[in-house]
Structure formats: structure tokens, C-alpha cells
Structure 1
Amino acid sequence: MPEFVPELSRGYWARSATADDINSVHHLVSACERELYGRVQTDSGGVAAVFARPGLVPELDTLLIHDQAGHLAARAWVNRRCEVDVHPRHRGRSLGAVLLAWAESRARRAGSEQIVQTVPADDAGAVALLRSRGYEPMVSEWLLEFTMPDEPTMPEPPAGITVRPFRSGDEHDAYQLIEDAFDEWQQRRKSYEEWAQHTVDRPTFAPAMSALAFADGQLVGAVLALDLPETGEGYIEQVAVRSDHRNKGIARLLLRHTFHAFHRQGRPTCTLGTHSDTGALALYLSVGMTVRRSSTVFRKTLRTV
């Protein structure tokens, strides 16, 4: 049980999450997405990857709120970033405010100097709640989409570049390439095990739709993709090009290969998430992607009490 359990309205009770709760949390998040967007974007593998993140202690860093019937009504996880979701049927009962206060308390007890949470721009209630508690905007995030009523055209590769789908055995080279590229903006480097949980070990990982670029037998670019059955769409999890091979059109080429592969599998739409720190938005817009929705990463400095 967490160190501190907030006082709840009558009819609700709380406990820590376990690995057995991953599907329930996925259903909760899916219900929130469906209410807000009319469609689901999250898959259970993504929930499991966050739950297994190094440093997260489920007994201390997670809190689930259930109703009298035992149904999951809300949840909060906090470990560097905070995630709070309240089922649409249970909104308007201050559960979000209670969980946010709990998350801040837990972060302070863990020695964190700040807390960060991502909120969809369309969720006016959540944005107002964060602002009322002293959160300030830090980063913009976007979910982009590429719609394919017709089969996408395939550009010619740059001289000396070959492209093929991801194969078994490519895992560690892809990890090295991607983490080296992401070092330019990410706050910490992931271990191979953590990276794999979000990508190649994820049940929805789609190697046939993931494109790799090679120069002289060396991996110089990668697009890693997921096939999300609940959405009927493809999703691009990661895009990276080795620093000495950038500005040659390799990323655009790999994206087109992945779009084409998804179209041939009957997926008429492919999505991708990015944020303002990466500086990649212009690239994705240049290949014909458009913004489906946006979110804001809010940050609050925590003061000791």
C-alpha cells in the first residue's frame, strides 16, 4: 500500500497497482481516449512498458481507485512523469484533484524537485485543474497522421542507401542507433531492456512495417512501427537517422516505406507522436502528415513542506 492514501468520497477505495492490473488500466485509459477523441490510441503493451519502467515502485508510485462494485474508476502513476486518468462515468467527483494531490505528495517524498504531466489540449477540465495548482506549460506534443486513400508513392533512395524491413537480429543495432540519436534531446539514456519493452518486445511491434536504411552494410536509419489492432491504424514509435547521414532524405524515405507497408496491410492511416524538443515537426509535415491533435506537457516545481 502507498505511504499515503488520500481520503476518498464515500463508495470509493484505493490500493496500489500490480502487474495483474495492466489490462484494467488499459481499459480505463481506452475509455478516456474514446470519450475525448472518439477512438482508442493506447495499447496494453504501452501500459505494461510504463509500469515496468526502471525506478517505478508499484507499491509506492501507483494508486488505483475502485468503486463499490470493484470497477476501476481512476488511476495515478508517478515516476519522473505523472499520469492521472479518471473514467468518464466517475468525473465530477474530485477524483482527479485527489489523485493529483497524491502524486505531488508522493513525488516530494521520493525527493523529486518537480512533477510533470501531459494533458490533451481538448481536455479543458484537466488543463484548468493543473493551472489552478500552479503547473506551467513546458513542451508541446502532437499526434500526427498520414491518411492513405491510395497507395503511397515510393521515392528513389539516395545514392549508396539500401532499405529493407526489420529482421530478427537487428535489435541491438537499432537500439544503439536510436539511443545515440535521441541523446541530443532526451533527459536520460535508456537501457536496452527498457527500450525493448517500448519497441521490439511489445506485442504490437510490426517488424514487416519497420524500415531500416543501410550504407556500406552499416545501419544509418530506422523507423520502428506498431500495428495497433484496436485502432485499425499503424503507429510509428521511433524515427532516427545517424548524425553523419542526416539531410539526405533518409528519414523521408523510411517513412514512405512504412506508410506503403501499412497500406498494403489494409491500414489506411498511420500515426506518429512527436514533441517540440525534437525539432522534427517540420519533417513530418513535409512528408504529408497533418496534426490530428495536440497536448501540452505541464511542469510544477515542488516545494518541501
Structure 2
Amino acid sequence: MSELLPPLPAGYRARPTTADDVAAVHRLVATCERALHGRAETDAGGISADLRRPGLDPARDTLLVHDRAGRLAARAWVDRRSEVNVHPAHRGRGLGAALLDWAEVRARRAGSAGIVQSVPDEDTAAVALLRSRGYQPLVRSWQLAYAMPEEPVVPAPPAGLTVRPFRPGDERAAHGLVEDAFAAWQPRRRSYAEWARHTVERPAFAPARSALAFTDGQLVGAVLSLDLPETGEGYVEQVAVRADHHNRGVARLLLRHAFRAFHRHGRRRCTLWTHSDTGALELYLRIGMTVARSSTVFRKGLADDGHDTVPPT
């Protein structure tokens, strides 16, 4: 690992991430989010799931950077995608650039043709850094918000469709439905284990606020929700509808069920993310959601950029 690490600013040292570091990484990411958005939106379960991505080797594909006092100043991981977070108190010292260099070298040596990173559009310093390094916009994402001062009205389902909350035993059917629905734009099909770590096995998963739709006993739609404590809001992690039930109002109906369940749980706002590849933005706008903020996925090709031509390991 050390031979891949670019020089760090004086006073900093780096090491790989371990499973014992999840809580510390969560605190770092939450601090970065509070500085940018005024609140934390990441949960420790999401951090843990990212560190267990298939193909990611924490000993080689992750870094934690500490200052002289042993405080966590920055972190990065890379596995086709990359994430870099620098504590607000340590910005402007070159840590972000050093970790970007490391991530690109590691991705290249792993045989990746490119590397991508998602950055909030309001983080203008991070956007400028990526653009200065040759990253180009790939996909636009939007956070949609739904305000609920009053309990949302839920219409009756169409004939032949039944709706109920998520129950134990629904996991495998939900995984198959989601992966089929996402196949048109998702680069690879996720295994059940990987998917579950990000959804139904996550501590923040909210089954009572997740809604499923069935026809003749077959699952045809799902809205899977998380309850993220610091936000004070409901959060929809995934929305999926079987292809033969598109344009029948299933997604709108399930979202209304989830919104109502969150309202009854004391939440007065719900959010979700979508991106330009899904084509779902108009659906969310039509049901009364509004764009709260946006982010961009940037990509940099690595095959022929003239840097570090060491063959893949």
C-alpha cells in the first residue's frame, strides 16, 4: 500500500481502514455533511456497507489520514467508484489532492479503465479540484423532498393490486424486483448479500415505512425506506416497479403509503435521490416533490492519461 501513497502534507500519516474504524469514519463524514448541508445524512450502516463492497480490499483500497494528535483528518476508498472526505478543519492543505492521486493510481493498478466520484454541486471547491484533474460530468443526481404538514392522502389501489408494509420473508423477492428494475441503468447486478447490506440488513431500515405492491401474490412494486435519526425526516432508499406494471400509478401509490407511514411516525418531510439515467425525475415532480439540491457524478478515464503505467495487479 505505501508505495502507492503520494506524499502527504507534513504532520499527517495514513493507514488502511479496518472494521473497527466504522464509527470514526461515520463521525468524519457526518461532520463534513453538517458543514455543507447543516445536518448529517449518512448512517454508520451505509459506511459499513461501502467498506464491504465486492472486490474492495480494505488493506489496499482504503486509507485513513490522521494528524499528529491522532485525529482523523480524511479518508478515501476506491473500487471503480471513489469517495474522498476531508475534515473541514483540515481543508486547504493538499489532503484532497493527495488522496485523489492515490485513488487514481490504485484504480489504475487494479485494472480500472476509469474512476468516478460523486460530489454535491454546492461543494464548489471539490468540483473545481475534480475538473482541474481532468474529471468530466457523467450523471446528474437530485435530492427530491416532499413536505407533509398534513397527513398525505392515499388513494385506493387499482383493481387487482394489494399494498402492505414490508414483512420478514420479503427480502429475496424485493432484491429480485429491484435488481430487475435497475438493470437498464445500473452497471452490474448486485448479489443478494451486497444489496441487503445497503437496505434490509441496514440498522436504519424501516420496514413499517416500506410499502410493497402485489398482483396475484406476485411482488410488482416496492418502496424501501430508511429512518435516519439526525435528519428528522423519512428517507426512501429505493423505488422499483416490475416492467409490465409501469405507467399504472404503482410507484406513486407506494410512495404515498410510505409518506403517510412516516407522517404517522412524526416525520413532516420525506426525501429521496434519483439521477438522470433513471428518467424518474418527472415522476417525482408530478407527485408534488421538489428539488432540494443536486450532485454530479464525475468520471476520469485512466487507460491512456500518461500517468503510472504499472500493469494491473
Residue 6 of structure 1 and its aligned partner are, at CA, apart by 2.2
- Corresponding residue for residue 270 of structure 1: 270
Separation in 1, partners of 2:3, 2:75: 16
| 8 Å contact kept, 1:80–1:115 | yes
* Residue 285 of structure 2 is aligned to residue 289 of structure 1: no
TM-score w.r.t. structure 2 length? 0.96
| Unpaired stretches in structure 1, ≥5 consecutive residues | none
CA deviation vs aligned residue, 1:92-134 (integer Å, no higher than 9, x gap): 1010000001100111111111010001100111111011111
- Corresponding residue for residue 94 of structure 2: 94
Residue 69 of structure 1 and its aligned partner are, at CA, apart by 1.1
- Corresponding residue for residue 152 of structure 2: 152
- Corresponding residue for residue 162 of structure 1: 162
For the residue of structure 1 that corresponds to 2:231, the secondary structure is coil
| 8 Å contact kept, 1:121–1:295 | yes
Amino acid at match of 1:57: D
Residue 246 of structure 1 and its aligned partner are, at CA, apart by 1.0
| Unpaired stretches in structure 2, ≥5 consecutive residues | none
Q: Number of matched residues? A: 305
Kindly report which structure 2 residues correspond to 1:136-215, keeping only aligned pairs within 5 A, or say none. Answer: 136-215=136-215
Residue 164 of structure 1 and its aligned partner are, at CA, apart by 0.3
For the residue of structure 2 that corresponds to 1:230, the secondary structure is helix
Separation in 2, partners of 1:89, 1:26: 16
Separation in 1, partners of 2:278, 2:3: 36
For the aligned residues, what is the CA RMSD?
0.9
For the residue of structure 2 that corresponds to 1:33, the secondary structure is helix
Separation in 1, partners of 2:213, 2:258: 12
Residue 235 of structure 1 and its aligned partner are, at CA, apart by 0.8
- Corresponding residue for residue 53 of structure 2: 53
Separation in 2, partners of 1:296, 1:20: 31
Q: 1:293 to 1:216 in 2, by over 3 A?
A: same
Residue 147 of structure 1 and its aligned partner are, at CA, apart by 1.2
For the residue of structure 2 that corresponds to 1:273, the secondary structure is strand
| 8 Å contact kept, 1:74–1:87 | yes
Separation in 1, partners of 2:245, 2:41: 32
Kindly report which structure 2 residues correspond to 1:1-305, keeping only aligned pairs within 5 A, or say none. Answer: 1-302=1-302, 303=304, 305=309
CA deviation vs aligned residue, 1:185-243 (integer Å, no higher than 9, x gap): 11000000000000000000000000000111111100000011121111111100100
Task: List structure 1 runs of 4+ shifted beyond 2 angstroms.
Answer: none
Amino acid at match of 2:260: H
CA deviation vs aligned residue, 1:278-302 (integer Å, no higher than 9, x gap): 1011111111111111001000111
